[in-house]
Amino acid sequence: MYFMKEEIVYAFIDSQNLNLGTSKDLYRGKKLIYKGWKLDFNKFRRYLTDKFKVRKAFLFIGYIKKIGSFINI
């Protein structure tokens, strides 16, 4: 009997790009083409799990000497 190993999926997220990509309004000339919004991190984490089967997600916010360079969400 053969058993398949379960894949472990990790997500490495750049906080700056995530924040700028969702929160800013974008204009073409004076016309609003995209209305920014605030990200709900709990829903985002659930989305990563449901859609991509992410087991662990790491949010990179920059290096914090006391904590280290990754924050686990």
pTM: 0.68
The 10s digit of each residue's pLDDT in 13-56 is 998 889 888 999 999 999 999 999 999 999 999 999 999 999 99
Name the residue among 50, 68, 38 with its Cα closest to residue 11.
50
Contact 41, 73 (CB under 8 A): yes
Q: Identify the three-state secondary structure at position 63.
A: coil
Question: Would you give the end-to-end CA distance of the chain in angstroms?
Answer: 37
Is the Cβ–Cβ distance between 22 and 36 less than 8 Å? Answer: yes
